[in-house]
């Protein structure tokens, strides 16, 4: 294996992440490495807010990062080095702060290159570019969510979307233009596209150009062409763009997808693709913006995703299942005497709104600290009902820090079932520490007798984040071969704040290689 420490002369990229968590400005920093690298990642915590850092999609153990799940937050004025080895992974992933809403201002891309001498399973592009889409608020995002929590109402939506930290051209302010992607005719470019938005699923388009998707969430796919990329918060997509159009200036757009009757940021951000040799002030070539509720477009994109499933990159989807789980996803309302309407919005898996502990779950597990959590998370909803039909009269949820236990190397199937309680909505759902295969999806209520017959068990796409369709369901499968405690949550940050989260405890297997190692000696304390 190719073990090299990252250092300033390594051509892979920046040696160490030095990040400042400011309240209202975005920090968008790339981290590059090669497969099998040992990576030091040092957030310098100079914000008045505490924070942690998570690298979504990597399998990190003590360095996973979500606050109060695998570690206590890094306190203001302190720093902490995340040490982890990247093995068996390659591609583009998102890193971000993982405490409250701080990932709005602290996020970036992780680029894991193949081992030296290992080519891509597609023609090598001439260049690679990172494209990070995000949201921006005029206010401090911590104030936004705190005010919402006090009122019991939804938080204010963002004021703009951004591409690589820029909101787009501003009238009368030439120095504040949008991001420009410079290209040369006949060259190919791999765009590493990251959705770092807090609460918005997004479409990505380049006027006059098609895109060939070759990877999602750091897993290779069978290539397919499209003119529109659809991606949820936390998801990544690598796509090849060929600069085969006439010299000129072409608009790049990121716009929201929302097929539910709820408030959202409907702003479109514009960037520019500019060919070498383009005149100084050319007329830009425009592109059509997808309708905000373009569900057929999202379905077509998702249905086109297939694992490469080659000899070198097989799709090892579990064919037999040890744990068959059925999780409903819902929004509810619990009593709140101090809130505006006498109630507050909450969200839940299987009617359990997750209560965050005051110490790290992983530390509590490792040191056998009692009273922090229970291992009784329900495998099924407590009361079956017509999930996508009329909302039940009782909108209340239960509360608890409840985990679900998995034996090492056991196989798991989860059907994530959306509901129409209060309002149906798409839910991009993220699992830490373990990749999964998306074996099926559909609208309405999952039918356990008929729907599994249509599962793709040959070449399903491999991901770490999947969007559960509005008033529909998604089925995923994975093998629990990474000991530790792994967070499952909606990647719409507003829903995570309301309690749409839980965690799996994956037990140790046999021997050191199948067991959770001891924690770092300098792990932050609560």
* Lowest-pLDDT choice from 111-115, 282-286, 417-421: 111-115
Question: What value does the mean pLDDT take over residues 329-358?
Answer: 97
- Angstrom distances, CA of residue 287 to CA of 135, 178, 264, 268: 21, 16, 22, 12
Phi-psi region of 165 (alpha: psi -120 to 50; beta: other; left: phi over 0): left
Instruction: For 136-161, give one letter per residue: b (16+ CB within 10 A) or e.
Output: bbeebbbebbeebbebbeebbbbebb
Cβ atoms within 10 Å, residue 48: 12
> Among residues 97, 120, 143, which one ends one of the domains?
120
* Residues 85 and 150 reside in one and the same domain: no
Indicate whether 438 and 487 sit together in one domain: yes
CA angle 435–119–3, rounded 5-degree value: 70
Q: Residues 436, 342: one domain?
A: yes
User: Residue 70's domain spans which residues?
Assistant: 1-120
User: According to the model, what pLDDT value does residue 17 have?
Assistant: 33
Q: 216: which residues sit within 8 A by CB, 6+ positions away?
A: 235, 236, 237, 238, 305, 461, 463
Q: pLDDT band at 18, cuts 50/70/90?
A: very low
Give the end of a domain, one of 93, 120, 147.
120
Give a yes or no: residue 247 inside a domain. yes
Residue 98: which residues within 8 A CB-CB, separation 6 or more?
Answer: 51, 52, 53, 54, 65, 66, 67
Distance CA 358, CA 372 (A): 8
Instruction: Determine if residue 422 is left, alpha or beta; phi over 0 gives left, psi from -120 to 50 gives alpha, anything else beta.
Output: left
Task: Say if residue 129 is in the same domain as residue 116.
Answer: no
User: What span, in angstroms and rounded, lies between the C-alpha atoms of 214 and 344?
Assistant: 43
In the predicted structure, residue 45 carries a pLDDT above the cut 80? no
What CA–CA distance (Å, rounded) separates 159 from 266? 9
253 occurs within a structural domain:
yes
Beta carbons within 8 Å of 16's beta carbon, 6+ residues apart? 6, 40, 41, 42
For residue 313, being part of any structural domain is answered with no
Task: For residues 114 and 127, state if they share a domain.
Answer: no
In a domain? residue 314:
no
Within-domain flag for 475:
yes
Q: 498 near 345, Cβ under 8 Å?
A: yes
Instruction: Decide if 407 is inside a domain.
Output: yes
Domain presence at residue 221: yes
Q: Tell me the C-alpha distance between 372 and 151, whole Å.
A: 28
CATH of the domain at 233: 2.60.40.420
Q: Are 413 and 323 in contact (CB under 8 A)?
A: yes
Residue 289 clears pLDDT 90, i.e. is over it: yes
Q: Which of 171-185, 373-387, 447-461 has the lowest mean pLDDT?
A: 171-185
Residue 135 has pLDDT above 70, yes or no: yes
Q: Is the pLDDT of residue 393 over 90?
A: no
Residues 463-488 have pLDDT tens digits of: 999 999 999 999 999 999 999 999 99
| Residue 341 and residue 285 share a domain | no
Q: What is the largest CA-CA distance in the chain?
A: 69
Q: Return the number of other C-beta atoms located less than 10 Å from residue 358's C-beta.
A: 10
Tell me whether strands 501-506 and 180-183 are parallel, antiparallel or unpaired: unpaired
The answer to whether the CB of 203 falls within 8 A of the CB of 460 is no
Same domain, 496 and 482: yes
pLDDT in tens, 347-366: 999 999 999 999 999 999 99
Same structural domain, 498 and 360: yes
- What average pLDDT is seen over the chain? 89
Q: Are residues 115 and 153 in the same domain?
A: no
**Helix, strand or coil for residue 17?**
strand
For residues 286 and 360, membership in a common domain is answered with no
**Which residues are CB-neighbours of 134 under 8 A, at least 6 positions away?**
26, 28, 104, 107, 161, 162, 165, 196, 197
Tell me whether residue 520 is in a domain.
no
The number of folded domains in the chain is 3
Percent of the chain with pLDDT over 70: 87
Q: Output the pLDDT for position 16.
A: 30
Length of the chain: 526
- Per-residue pLDDT band at 53 (split at 50, 70, 90): low
C-alpha 447/C-alpha 29 separation (Å) is 44
What are the residues facing 166 on neighbouring strands?
163
pLDDT of residue 355: 98
pLDDT at 387: 97
Q: Quick one: 366 and 402 in the same domain?
A: yes
Q: What number is the average pLDDT over the span 81-104?
A: 87
For residue 144, which phi and psi values (nearest 5 degrees)? -60, -50
Q: Which of 294-298, 317-321, 422-426 has the lowest mean pLDDT?
A: 422-426
Cα separation, 301 vs 112, whole angstroms = 24
240 and 339 in one domain? no
Q: What is the mean pLDDT of residues 313-331?
A: 98
Question: Is 80 exceeded by the pLDDT of residue 54?
Answer: no
pLDDT for residue 338 is more than 50:
yes
Higher pLDDT residue, 246 or 7?
A: 246
């Amino acid at each position: 294996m190719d073990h090299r420490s990252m250092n300033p002369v390594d051509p892979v990229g920046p040696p160490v992440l030095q990040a400042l968590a400011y309240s209202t400005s975005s920090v968008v920093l790339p981290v590059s490495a090669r497969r099998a690298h040992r990576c030091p990642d040092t957030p310098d915590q100079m914000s008045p807010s505490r924070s942690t850092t998570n690298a979504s999609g990597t399998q990190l153990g003590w360095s996973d990062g979500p606050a109060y799940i695998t570690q206590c937050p890094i306190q203001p004025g302190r720093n902490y080095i995340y040490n982890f080895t990247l093995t068996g992974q390659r591609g583009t992933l998102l890193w971000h702060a993982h405490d409250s809403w701080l990932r709005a201002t602290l996020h970036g891309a992780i680029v894991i290159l193949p081992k030296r001498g290992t080519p891509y399973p597609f023609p090598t592009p001439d260049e690679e570019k990172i494209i990070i889409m995000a949201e921006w608020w005029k206010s401090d995002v911590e104030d936004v969510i705190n005010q919402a929590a006090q009122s019991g109402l939804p938080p204010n939506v963002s004021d703009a979307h951004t591409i690589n930290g820029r909101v787009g051209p501003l009238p009368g302010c030439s120095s504040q233009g949008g991001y420009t992607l410079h290209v040369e005719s006949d060259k190919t470019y791999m765009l590493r596209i990251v959705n770092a938005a807090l609460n918005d699923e997004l479409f990505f388009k380049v006027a006059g150009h098609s895109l060939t998707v070759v990877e999602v969430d750091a897993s290779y796919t069978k290539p397919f062409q499209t003119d529109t990329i659809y991606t949820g918060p936390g998801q990544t997509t690598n796509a090849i763009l060929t600069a085969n159009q006439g010299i000129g200036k072409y608009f790049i757009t990121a716009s929201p997808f929302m097929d539910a009757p709820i408030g959202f940021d409907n702003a479109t951000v514009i960037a520019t693709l500019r060919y070498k040799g383009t005149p100084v002030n050319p007329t830009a070539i425009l592109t059509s913006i997808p309708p905000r509720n373009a569900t057929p477009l999202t379905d077509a994109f998702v249905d086109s995703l297939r694992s490469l499933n080659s000899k070198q990159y097989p799709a090892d989807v579990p064919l037999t299942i040890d744990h068959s789980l059925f999780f409903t996803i819902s929004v509810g309302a619990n009593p709140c005497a101090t809130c505006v309407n006498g109630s507050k919005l909450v969200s839940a898996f299987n009617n359990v709104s997750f209560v965050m502990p005051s110490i790290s779950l992983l530390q509590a597990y490792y040191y056998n600290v009692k009273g922090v959590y229970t291992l009784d998370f329900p495998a099924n909803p407590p009361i079956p009902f017509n999930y996508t039909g009329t909302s039940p009269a009782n909108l209340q949820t239960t509360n608890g820090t409840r985990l679900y236990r998995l034996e090492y190397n056991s196989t798991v199937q989860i059907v994530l079932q959306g509901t129409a309680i209060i309002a149906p909505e798409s839910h991009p759902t993220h699992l830490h520490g373990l990749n999964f295969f998306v074996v099926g999806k559909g609208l309405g209520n999952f039918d356990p007798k008929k729907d599994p017959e249509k599962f793709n068990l040959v070449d399903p796409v491999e991901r770490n984040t999947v969007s559960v369709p509005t008033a529909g369901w998604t089925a995923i499968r994975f093998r629990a071969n990474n000991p530790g405690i792994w967070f499952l949550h909606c990647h719409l940050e507003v829903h995570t704040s309301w309690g749409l989260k839980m965690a799996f405890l994956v037990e140790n297997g046999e021997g050191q290689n199948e067991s959770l190692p001891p924690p770092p000696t300098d792990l932050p304390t609560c």
